[in-house]
Amino acid sequence: MHKTILITGATSGLGLALAQRLSTQPGLHLVLPVRNAQRAEQLRAALPHASLSTPLLDLARLDSVRSFAPQLSAPLDAVMFNAGVQSADAVIRTADGLEQSFAVNHLSHHVLLRALEPLLQPDAIVGWTASGTHDPKDRVAKNFGFLGAHYLAPEALAQGQYASAPNAAQINRDAYASSKGLNVLSARHFAARELGQRRYFSYDPGLMAGTGLAREQGVLVNLVWKYVMPVVSKMLKGTSTPQGSAQLLARILLGQHALPNGAYVEFSGTQNPPYLPAQESIYTEQLMAFSDRYIFA
């Protein structure tokens, strides 16, 4: 088997656990984009037996995203858009003037997918790491103050304009949950327009306490997230670990676990109905048209 799989956000958390799991597969080459040379070095040390390349990519900069794809040449058998950020108490804008979680979690992955399309194998598998936080009914997410995705006009999402949020912390929770809703919509959109054999899915890894996702929170929250929550979460239903959630994800990307095209699947294998906008196809067309504008902008 000679396959190539590209994973964004493989330097920590779920992405690293996934890369570690895949690195034991014979004949598999991993393309693991990183933000800088230091991250590349750390990743190579963590994956001593992998066949891998670590090209530079900063998803918070559209110029970096646009110049990334032309550096690649190998056909891709699978791509996992896994990198993600969650802001804390201040709304953060990227160098392009966009709200950070919209830019990194949705828009840059969209622009990247468009650029990678010519490199995808005819039967390629493409996934997005979404999150239960996009669903306003998700009980675990509610406990952390998430209210679900807000399917606002793309222009408002891009600017982080959540009029109902009372403060920056809630704007950031809304922006994160919304970006994860857009991940679900993206998988469903590309699946719906697929005429060939490519497969698209979105993945809910469950709550995985202790990952780097809380890095923008204060010291105390980080300590609780890293050292207390991994113990407490073992007692909560619907929670996981990076290693646990990487198991099914690896099988999906290797083509060993088939899914209906466009599926939203949880780490347990359950396919829960995702939370969608009232008029999904109209909304998603607008979102895609808006996002496509950034391919060359």
6 binds ligand NAP (CB under 6 A): no
Nearest distance, CB of residue 2 and ligand NAP, angstroms: 26
Given a contact cutoff of 8 angstroms between Cβ atoms, the answer to whether 51 and 31 are in contact is no
Binding mask 75-114 for ligand NAP (x = CB under 6 A): -------xxxx------------------x----------
229 binds ligand NAP (CB under 6 A): no
Nearest distance, CB of residue 196 and ligand NAP, angstroms: 27
Nearest to 84 by CA among 131, 126, 123: 131
Given a contact cutoff of 8 angstroms between Cβ atoms, the answer to whether 34 and 13 are in contact is no
Reduce the DSSP state of residue 232 to 3 states and report it.
helix
Q: How far apart are CA 60 and CA 93, in angstroms?
A: 9
β-bridge mates for residue 199, sequence order: 125
Q: What is the total count of residues that contact ligand NAP (CB under 6 A)? A: 28
Binding mask 154-173 for ligand NAP (x = CB under 6 A): --------------------
Give residues with Cβ within 8 angstroms of 11, minimum separation 6: 32, 34, 35, 39, 42, 43
Nearest distance, CB of residue 6 and ligand NAP, angstroms: 13
Q: Would you say 15 or 274 has its CB closer to ligand NAP?
A: 15
Residue in 4, 20, 54, 129 binding ligand NAP, rule: CB under 6 A: 129
Nearest distance, CB of residue 15 and ligand NAP, angstroms: 5
148 binds ligand NAP (CB under 6 A): no
Q: How far apart are CA 8 and CA 129, in angstroms?
A: 10
What does the DSSP 8-state code read for residue 146? -
Q: Would you say 53 or 121 has its CB closer to ligand NAP?
A: 53
Binding mask 182-221 for ligand NAP (x = CB under 6 A): -----------------------x-xx--xxx--------
Q: How far apart are CA 174 and CA 161, in angstroms?
A: 10
Reduce the DSSP state of residue 178 to 3 states and report it.
helix
Q: How far apart are CA 85 and CA 99, in angstroms?
A: 11
Q: Per the structure block, which two tokens stand in for 107?
A: 């828009």
Q: How far apart are CA 249 and CA 258, in angstroms?
A: 11
233 binds ligand NAP (CB under 6 A): no
Residue in 47, 50, 52, 59 binding ligand NAP, rule: CB under 6 A: 59
Q: How far apart are CA 189 and CA 192, in angstroms?
A: 5
54 binds ligand NAP (CB under 6 A): no
Q: How far apart are CA 163 and CA 157, in angstroms?
A: 11
Q: Would you say 37 or 153 has its CB closer to ligand NAP?
A: 37
Residue in 54, 131, 172, 186 binding ligand NAP, rule: CB under 6 A: 131
Which range, of 11-19, 21-29, 256-264, 287-295, touches ligand NAP by CB under 6 A? 11-19
Given a contact cutoff of 8 angstroms between Cβ atoms, the answer to whether 243 and 17 are in contact is yes
Q: Which residues form the interface with ligand NAP (CB under 6 A)? A: 8-15, 35, 39, 57-60, 82-85, 104, 129, 131, 205, 207-208, 211-213, 242
